[in-house]
Structure 1
Amino acid sequence: MTIGYLMRRLKVSRTRAYQLTRRRNFPVPAGTADHMRIWRKADIDSWLAVHRPDALPEDASGDEGDEADADHP
């Protein structure tokens, strides 16, 4: 997952997302791709569950949740 995933989940700016990634308790990136840090989705979601549970989708199956909401009014 990229910084964009974190931005969408938390509904924050890129600057704020980068600030969060610099916290000591934030997951360590799994690596880099095209000069971007990437994280494991499970690591990000685990961090969110502790620090921002409101940012997790109601459906914890690993889907983004956005498409499912459109199908169910």
Structure 2
Amino acid sequence: MTTESLYLMGAHEIRVRLGGISRQRVYQITRHKDFPTPVARLAAGDVWLADDVEAWIKQKRPHEYDVE
């Protein structure tokens, strides 16, 4: 049996990834029409594929793209 890992980000992870921006700012960013669509809506909030969020950051905020 093969198992594929699925990496997800919630609002908190996006907040941390973007340098500790406010919850309100995360809400504004994730509601933009050019932000990736959430893959699920949970009671705790929306979740996105981490790869989609990273691609958005690389395209829209290249100064914050962390190349390691």
TM-score by length of 2: 0.77
Residue in 1 that maps onto 2:45: 36
User: Whose helix proportion is higher, 1 or 2?
Assistant: 1
**Relative contact order (C-alpha < 8 Å, sep 6+): which is higher?**
2
Count of matched residue positions in the alignment of Structure 1 and Structure 2? 59
Whole-Å separation in 2 of the counterparts to 1:15 and 1:7: 10
Which stretches of structure 1, 4 residues or longer, exceed 6 Å deviation after superposition? none
1:12-37 CA-partner distances (Å, limit 9, x unpaired): 10000100011110000010233310
User: Whose strand proportion is higher, 1 or 2?
Assistant: 2
Q: Pick from 13, 20, 32 the counterpart of residue 29 of structure 2.
A: 20
**Structure 1 spans left out of the alignment, 5+ residues:** 60-73
RMSD: 1.2
Which SS does the other structure have where 1:39 is aligned?
strand
**Structure 2 spans left out of the alignment, 5+ residues:** 1-8
Alignment map for 1:1-73 (pairs within 5 Å): 1-11=9-19, 12-59=21-68
